[in-house]
Structure 1
Amino acid sequence: MGMNEQVAKILIVDDEPQIRKLLRVTLQAYSFGIHEAATGEDGVRQAIEVRPDLIVLDLGLPDLHGLEVLSRIRAWSRAPVIVLTARDREEDKIVALDGGADDYVTKPFGMGELVARIRVALRHASDSANEPTLTFGALSIDLVHRVVELDGERVKLTPTEYELLRVLATSAGKVVTQRQLLQQVWGDAFSESDSHYLRVYIGHLRKKLEADSTRPQFILTEPGVGYRFRSRD
């Protein structure tokens, strides 16, 4: 880490002291600066005071629901938010992602996984300074000229397929919900019942991009939630 490189500040909002301790010890070992809050109100206040680079937010807080904390923070901040949620609350994940969370990790979670998600979210926040071309291994997407190449060969996509790929790839490493995809690709004309179109188009894209569309390398399915494009590592 260079002398001038800022240490990323992470705010942990969780009411369980042992989880806060685990996160603090682990994340400090990765040279992150840690701030903690045990309640939603304190989390909102600290987000304003500390201006963290990333927030880890437990949805099950004693005072405010995590989604309320998220919407208060999202009213003014674009800092990435990773929510912690109980494994069986599928609906929470979707509502949180639609409400502006960047990713989610289900409890119990592995620290390795969480650290990887944090790194992706921080990188995504810093490089959303609009690079003209995105590269993922053998796949390159030229956002200016709308040209997609795989192994140096141009891939012919329909406008809708391209738009779907663009939305997924510019959010690489993040989960994008079905609803977000429908809205960003098809606009306000969509309804939730159109989600089967999404599966059809994802199928078309996989046929054109994946060596084996039953074991996708680029467009990964997050069951019940949406899709996640492979992160750029």
Structure 2
Amino acid sequence: MDGNTTRKPSLARGAGQHVLIVAAEPDVAELLATTLELAGYRIGLTGTVADTLALLDAHRFDLLVVDTTLPDMAGIDPAARPVIVHRPPVLYLTGYDTLGRLLPELGLGETDYVTKPFRVAEVLARIQVLLRGAAPGRPDHFLRHGDLVLDDTLCRARRGPRTLDLTPGEYRLLRHLLVNAHRVLSKEQISRYVWGDFRGDNAIEQLVSRLRRKVDREEPALIHTRRGFGYWLGRVDAEG
């Protein structure tokens, strides 16, 4: 074997989870279905909001991948969700120019996004993160790390018995750190998740500082700085 051969990193794979792809464009739907099947997921496929809601009412899916170019995308709104018993996490595929309209949805459940044109590796990685956050054995709307708990249904957070009084930006930042626990997130990654664009100056530092004062009043501290790289959430003695 040639010792100079460069091995490509393996793509994130599934374990038979049931994923519903919601895409009206045939090329996008075929690419996603083929890719996710090869990656080890079971696939359902719809092209309209009406069909999607009907399937969600009749079947349990572990995750939705939704292309926001659906012609009736406005039909997927919070008002429709209470009739669905099991609300799976959602990965949105969205154009950068329409991201601003999508951002209010992020943080109101297990949700994330990938901008188009998307890379297959990024889609697979974000799916894996969302499925890990919605692991079996706990209610879908709770995210936990030690004594830190986020309730996505009510958009509330607490640490131990203490409720955290968070602004929407602080909540979104904490959620992003929590879903990616023990993973360093760059300022750009955080900024694009929280606000939809990259903000320079000291915007991220100030937001992290405010959140840290609220979360880390108790020991051990959970929000940490990796100088020159970004920020991460977790216990220092558990890192590694």
Residue 39 of structure 1 corresponds to which residue in structure 2?
48
Q: CA deviation at 1:98?
A: 4.5
Deviation track 1:144-201 (CA, whole Å, cap 9, x = no partner) reads 8xxxxxxxxxxxxxx899987994478413989759xxxxxxxxxxxxxxx9973542
Deviation track 1:82-136 (CA, whole Å, cap 9, x = no partner) reads 1111111232231221443511111111010111111111111016739xxx8xx
Within 5 Å, which residues of 2 pair with 1:26-175? Answer: 26-65=35-74, 67-68=76-77, 71-73=79-81, 75-76=83-84, 77-100=86-109, 102-126=111-135, 129=138, 142-143=146-147, 167-168=174-175, 171-173=178-180
Q: CA deviation at 1:67?
A: 3.9
Whole-Å Cα distance in 1 between the matches of residues 178 and 212 of structure 2? Answer: 19
Are residues 1:215 and 2:229 paired?
A: yes
Whole-Å Cα distance in 2 between the matches of residues 13 and 57 of structure 1? Answer: 5
SS at match of 2:72: coil
SS at match of 1:201: helix
Residue 8 of structure 2 corresponds to which residue in structure 1?
none
Q: Contact 1:59–1:65 (CA<8 Å) still a contact in 2?
A: no
Letter in 1 for 2:147: L
SS at match of 2:100: helix
Letter in 2 for 1:215: F
Percent of aligned positions with the same letter in both sequences? 26
The alpha-carbon distance between structure 1 residues 57 and 200, as it changes in their structure 2 partners (threshold 3 A), is same
The alpha-carbon distance between structure 1 residues 50 and 199, as it changes in their structure 2 partners (threshold 3 A), is same
Query: Is there any run of 5+ residues in structure 1 with no aligned partner, and where?
Result: 135-140, 145-158, 180-194, 220-231
RMSD of Structure 2 on Structure 1 (CA): 4.3
The alpha-carbon distance between structure 1 residues 162 and 73, as it changes in their structure 2 partners (threshold 3 A), is closer
Whole-Å Cα distance in 2 between the matches of residues 170 and 196 of structure 1? Answer: 14
The alpha-carbon distance between structure 1 residues 170 and 105, as it changes in their structure 2 partners (threshold 3 A), is closer
SS at match of 1:89: helix
Are residues 1:25 and 2:34 paired?
A: yes
**Would you tell me which structure has more helix in proportion to its own residues?**
1
Letter in 2 for 1:118: I
Whole-Å Cα distance in 1 between the matches of residues 136 and 209 of structure 2? Answer: 31
TM-score of the superposed pair, with normalisation by structure 1: 0.60
Aligned residues: 177
Whole-Å Cα distance in 2 between the matches of residues 55 and 48 of structure 1? Answer: 13
Letter in 2 for 1:72: A
Q: Contact 1:59–1:83 (CA<8 Å) still a contact in 2?
A: yes
Whole-Å Cα distance in 1 between the matches of residues 165 and 73 of structure 2? Answer: 40
